[in-house]
Amino acid sequence: MSIIYKTALLRVEVEESETPWLKVFTQVAYKEFSEVPMALRLEIFRVLDIIEKEMLSFYKPKKINIASFGNYMPHVHWHIMARFEEDAYFPEPMWGTKQREGRSFVGDFEQFISNIQKLLK
């Protein structure tokens, strides 16, 4: 996993996948969202909003999925995934049962990441 954006409060990482998939982590390992200080909560929502809007604009997916579980890793974090009807798992979650052989939807992923980095600064 590569880190594409990092501040003292949080970081954004790439999840390797056939679909565009980023993850947002708090730098301090909070177990639950209710433990996160309000200023950091607001920054998380700002980052999620920017990523979602750029995924919609750049990739034009069928849907954006945003998830936060932390069952295996009790560290507050979010997954942001662009979903397409033709991806391998749609309409199931990316952790669900594979529905078909998918194709790569990452396109010009380096340009997408560059756009995200500019927008987040």
All structural domains of the chain with their residue ranges:
3-120
pTM: 0.93
pLDDT tens sequence across 67-115: 998 777 789 999 999 999 999 999 999 989 999 998 888 789 999 999 9
Q: Are 78 and 12 in contact (CB under 8 A)?
A: no
- Average pLDDT of the chain to the nearest whole number: 94
Task: Give the confidence band of 1 by pLDDT, cuts at 50, 70, 90.
Answer: low
CATH number of this structure's domain 3-120? 3.30.428.10
CA distance 17 to 70: 19
CA distance 19 to 70: 21
